[in-house]
Amino acid sequence: MTNPTTLRFTKMHGAGNDFVVLDNCAGQIDLSPGLIKRLADRHFGVGADQVLVVESSSQADFKYRIFNADGQEVQQCGNGARCFAQYVFDKGLTQKNQITEETLAGIIQPELIRHNWVKVNMGPAEFSPGNVPFISEGLVTRKAGALTQYKLPIDLGPELEELWVGVASMGNPHVVILLEQPASDELVQHLGATLESHPRFPERVNVGFLHVVGRSQVHLRVYERGVGETLACGTGACAAAVVGMKMGLIAERVDVVKAGGTLTIEWSGQQDSDVLMTGPAQTVFEGEFYL
């Protein structure tokens, strides 16, 4: 029996984006920001980019809650969605290979393709600035294929002369920067931090640095809001892929390569069509955390 002064957890990762996963279907865990930050702390806690929580739902098979390492609850996490699905199956909470997950951004549908490999229907992408949300008023714009890009007047340093960005929501806000070569560490850290909390993004934003290798492969680095750069970002991969597809630079099925691994993104390009993401979901270890 678990000691009431400890909390059972599972450590998982999806392409290096790592999570602490908690079963709160009984509703007995006090999910305070302080507890989330302690669990996510890499020196004094378990260590994670996000804390994922399984709860009961009246709308879907499960409710899927996501907390960034800073304690803030957020709408969506694509790598986490795959780990969530693998977790509830491994724990015997469901026998179904395909489940529905209620999130703050709506219902999503993960499917276990094989052990530790999950496809998620992430729903449609949203490009309207007001729905990202992104304050675009007063900015210079241009068309890049079917995508509207916005010029942000920001001091960029030596790597970029001017900053043109695409914006998209995958249930959470993303800004995507197309680069002719892979982003440097300095650019990711400096520009990522600058844009994450830029006033034109009222809910902050995840910052993607996209380098197109070919029509079927891209490289991506993501500076996540409330976390910093992560080894992978599922919604970031989706956002970068659909932005590149709207620009006409990549195919309808593309491998998004990140430091932690590769995710495959599929999208037909139609306005209301769903974005599909396939990639790994693996358990690292389990344990008890002293409260």
- The verdict on whether 77 is a catalytic residue reads yes
Q: How many residues does the chain have?
A: 291
Q: What six digits make up the tokens of 196?
A: 């994450």
Looking at the DSSP bridge assignments, the partners of residue 228 are 224
Whether 233 is catalytic is: yes
d(CA 2, CA 278): 35
Residue 11 · residue 40 · CB < 8 Å: no
DSSP-assigned letter for residue 98: B
Rg of the chain over CA atoms, in angstroms?
Answer: 19
Longest dimension (CA), the chain: 61
Here the tokens at position 175 are 């800004």
Q: How far apart are CA 281 and CA 79, in angstroms?
A: 8
The three-state DSSP-derived secondary structure of 210-241 is: EEEEECCEEEEEEEECCCEEECCCHHHHHHHH
Q: Tell me the sheet residues that pair with 112.
A: 118
Q: Given 25, 83, 233, 238, which residue is catalytic?
A: 233
Measured CA to CA, the distance from residue 59 to residue 205 in angstroms comes to: 28
Rounded Cα gap, residues 9 and 286, in angstroms: 6
C-alpha–C-alpha distance, residues 171 and 216, integer Å: 24
Rounded Cα distance between 126 and 198, Å, is 20
Residues assigned a catalytic role: 77, 233
